[in-house]
Amino acid sequence: MTIWVDADACPVVVKEIIFRAAIRTGIQATLVANNFIKVPASKHIAFLQVPKGFDVADDEIVRRTEEGDLVITADIPLAAEVMEKGAIALNPRGERYSDDTIKQTLNLRDFMDTMRSSGEHTGGPPPLNQANRQAFANELDKYLVHYKKVLHKRTDK
């Protein structure tokens, strides 16, 4: 299992939570971005720099993601694609995407794009706050505990 991070837009505080979790649990975390990102020296943390271009990082994450992986992204189309491959998608605010919510979220995103293209100023999401950071850390921990249980069951056989 790998934690894939859509890292260009991922908040620094969320990356730090991921780094600590990867080191603590020994689970591989790989950050994928167009721009260089400094990561801690650890065999459990990797950085993959991809060429600049529209959706290049997203496409690389989709290509490498396997069933059971965890993908951290605020990019809704990316979340939908990795979920189709059997991965779990979690956004930096701690909201886990589900089959039920992903369609609604994509529809809302498309609606907001339409509003913006017609000249409407819709604003962006509110800044990440302490509650968001805690929600993210809790959801990440829940997934890692679940993964460890699954792994433990496999090794007991």
102 forms beta bridges with none
Quickly count: other Cβ atoms within 10 Å of residue 60's Cβ. 20
Name residues of the chain where pLDDT drops below 70: 109, 120-124, 151-157
- pLDDT (0 to 100) of residue 105: 74
Does 3.90.550 match the CATH number of domain 2-156?
no
pLDDT digits (tens, 9 = 90+) for 79-116: 999 999 999 999 999 999 998 888 777 777 677 777 77
Domain boundaries, the chain: 2-156
Q: Taking phi first (over 0 means left), then psi (-120 to 50 degrees means alpha), and beta for anything else, what does residue 103 get? A: alpha
- pLDDT (0 to 100) of residue 156: 60
- pLDDT (0 to 100) of residue 154: 62
Please report which helix (H) or strand (E) contains residue 32, including its range: strand 28-33
Q: Structure tokens of 96? A: 């886990």
Q: What phi and psi values does residue 46 have, to the nearest 5 degrees?
A: -130, 155
